[in-house]
Amino acid sequence: MAHRKITFDDRLLDGTIKQSDIDAYAPALAAAEKMLSDRSGPGGDFLGWLDLPTKTPKKLVDSIVTAGQELHDKADVLICIGIGGSYLGARAAIEFLSPSFEDLRKPRIIFAGHTINSDYLADLLSLVKDKQVAVNVISKSGTTTEPGIAFRVIRKWMEDRYGRKATAGRIVATTDPASGALRKLAAEEGYATFDIPPDVGGRFSVLTPVGLLPIAAAGIDIRKLLFGAAQAMHFCKGATPDANMAGRYAVVRNILFKRGYTTEVMASFQPQLHFVSEWWKQLAGESEGKNNTGIFPASLDYTTDLHSLGQWMQEGVRSVFETFMLLRETANTITVPEFTDDSDELNYLAGKSFEEINQRAYQGTLFAHLDGGVPAATLLLNSRSEETLGQLFYFFEKAIALSGYLLRVNPFDQPGVEAYKKNMFALLGKKGFEKQRDALASRIREVMKT
C-alpha cells in the first residue's frame, strides 16, 4: 500500500454528517469514478492529467530537469509569465517548498502576466536591471491577453539589452504542441519549447511542463513530486468513499453543499500554504462554478486571518464549512525563550515550540468554529516535501473532478471566463467584436447620463 503523506479526517463532522449519509453516496461516487476511468463523462477529452504521474515519459522528465538546471544556472532571476492554470501550480509548489523569503532563493522566481499593471512591470524591470534574466512564458492557447502583453514588454526589454538572438537563448515557451500565436512566435524566433498535452486543461496542468519546468528551475525535485502523485493514485481511486480518499472528500463537500453550506473555506495554518490554497481555489472554482451551481471556494491564512475574518467565521452567515489544511512537521523548530523578569507575562509559553502553539491555535479554532455552527474537516500534510505536495496535488485534482461530476457539471470546461474577455476585446477595439462594442458603448453612455 502506498505510504500516505496526507490524511483527510472528517471525524468531527459526525453529528452533521453520519456514516450512513456518506454510504448513501456510494452509487453516485461509483458512477463518477467510472465516468473518469472510461472517459465517458462530460469533458472526457481532458482527462490526460489522470495518468501523468505514471505515464509522463522518463525522457521528458529528464529533459525538463536539464532545462530547469540550465535556467537555474544562467539566471539570477527567472521570470515566469502566465495566468490561471499556467502559473498557479508552479507558484504553489515553489512557495511551499522554497525558503520563505525570495532573497534566500536562487534563482529568484518572479511571476508576471497574471495582472494588468504598469507599476508591477516597471518595478520588475527595475529589480532585474543588473541581474541575469531568463524567461519561461507559459500559455496553452498562446493568445491570452495578460501574459501576452507582459511578454511583449519583457521581450522588448530583453532584446534591447541582450540583442534579439541572445534573447531567444534565454526564453523557453511552454505552449500547445501545434497551434496558437506563442507556438508560431517560438518557431520564428527559435525559442526552446515544451509542449502542453492537448488533453490536459490549464488548472489540471501542474504536473505537465507548465508546472514542472519552473518548479525544476527552482531546484525542486520533480521526480519526487511525480512519485508522490503516483502514490496518491492508489488511495484516490475506488468506488467507495471509504477506499477512495479523494472520493470521500468530494462526497462530504457535496453533502454539505446540499444542506446549504455553499462556501468552503480552505484554512491553512502555515504561510507556505497560501498559494496551495490559491491553486485549489482556481481548480475548484473554475471546475464547479457553472450552470448556476457550485461550491464557492474561499481561503484564509491562520492565524493571521483569525485577527480579521475570524470574527466572520465565528459569527457570520452560517453557509460556510471549513477544511483545515495543517502541516504536521516544519523544517525548523524555534522555541519561545525564557526571560527571568517575565515582564510580558509570556513565560508560561517558554520552551514551547511555535508549532506546539500553532497546534493549540488550530485545536482552539476548530472547536470554536464547530461550536459556532461551522462544520469542519482537516487535511493533514506530513511535511514540506515534494512527495507530500505531489500527493496533495493529485488528491485535489481527483477530488474536484469527482465532485464536479457529483454536482452534474462538466468540471473540465470554463465557458464563463469568456464573457469578460469578449467585453474587454470589444471595448479595446479588437477585430470581430464591433457589434458588441456598439452595444456596450451605448450601455456605458446610459450609465454616464445618470
Indicate which residues carry an active-site annotation. Answer: 286, 307, 421
Q: Residue 140, interface with ligand PA5 (CB under 6 A)?
A: yes
Using N-to-C axis directions, what is the helix angle for 245-258 and 386-406, rounded to 10°?
50
The radius of gyration of the chain's CA atoms, rounded to the nearest angstrom, is 23
Beta bridge partners of 264: 297, 321
DSSP state of 18: -
Residues of this chain, 170-209, that bind ligand PA5 according to CB under 6 A: 201-203
d(CA 272, CA 340): 34
Measured from each CB, the residue nearest to ligand PA5 is: 202
Measured from the CB atom, is 107 or 148 closer to ligand PA5?
A: 148
Q: Which is nearer to ligand PA5, 318 or 421 (CB)?
A: 421
Vertex 270: Cα angle to 267 and 271 (nearest 5): 100
Q: Judged by CB under 6 A, does residue 136 bind ligand PA5?
A: no
Phi, psi at 3, each rounded to 5° = -75, 120
Q: How far is the CB of 140 from ligand PA5 (least distance, A)?
A: 4
Torsion angles phi and psi, residue 327, rounded to 5: -100, 125
Cα dihedral angle (193, 197, 198, 204), rounded to 10 degrees?
Answer: -120
Cell numbers found for residue 213: 519546468
141 counts as binding ligand PA5 under rule CB under 6 A? yes
Query: Which listed range, 62-70, 83-91, 129-137, 293-301, lies at the site for ligand PA5 (CB under 6 A)?
Result: 83-91
Residue number, 275 or 302, with CB nearest to ligand PA5: 275
Residues 386-425 interacting with ligand PA5 (rule: CB under 6 A):
414
Which of 65, 449, 45, 388 is CA-nearest to residue 231?
388
Cα–Cα distances in angstroms (integers) from residue 213 to residues 130, 137, 357, in the given order: 24, 11, 37
CB 270 within 8 A of CB 36: no
Taking the complex as a whole, how short is the minimal distance between the CB of residue 179 and ligand PA5, in angstroms?
A: 11
> Cβ(337)–Cβ(346) under 8 Å?
no
Q: How many Å separate Cα 27 from the centre of its chain?
A: 30
Q: Which is nearer to ligand PA5, 81 or 295 (CB)?
A: 81
In the list 86, 277, 299, 323, the residue contacting ligand PA5 (rule: CB under 6 A) is 86
Q: Shortest approach of ligand PA5 to residue 109 CB, angstroms?
A: 18
Eight-state DSSP code of residue 101: S
Is 63 among the residues that bind ligand PA5 (CB under 6 A)? no
Measured from the CB of residue 144, what is the shortest distance to ligand PA5 in angstroms?
3
State how far the Cα of 224 lies from the Cα of 203, in Å rounded to an integer: 21
- Angle (CA) 151-201-100 rounded to 5° is 60
Q: What is the smallest separation between the CB atom of 259 and ligand PA5, expressed in angstroms?
A: 29
Instruction: Kindly state the smallest distance separating residue 286's Cβ from ligand PA5, in Å.
Output: 5
Q: Please report whether residue 33 would count as binding ligand PA5 according to CB under 6 A.
A: no
Binding mask 202-241 for ligand PA5 (x = CB under 6 A): xx--------------------------------------
Q: Which of 43, 53, 68, 84 binds ligand PA5 (CB under 6 A)?
A: 84
- Decide if 87 contacts 56 (C-beta within 8 A): no
196's grid cell: 502542453
The side-by-side arrangement of strands in the sheet containing 320-327 is: 6-9, 376-381, 320-327, 263-268, 296-301
Quote the least distance from Cβ 254 to ligand PA5, whole Å.
Answer: 22
- Residue 195 is given by DSSP the state E
83 binds ligand PA5 (CB under 6 A): yes
Residue 114 binding ligand PA5, by CB under 6 A: no
x/- mask, ligand PA5, residues 271-290, rule CB under 6 A, reads ---------------x----
Q: Please tell me the count of residues contacting ligand PA5 according to CB under 6 A.
A: 14
Q: Among 140-148, 163-171, 289-297, 310-318, which window interacts with ligand PA5 (CB under 6 A)?
A: 140-148
- Residues binding ligand PA5 (CB under 6 A): 83-86, 139-141, 144, 147, 201-203, 286, 414
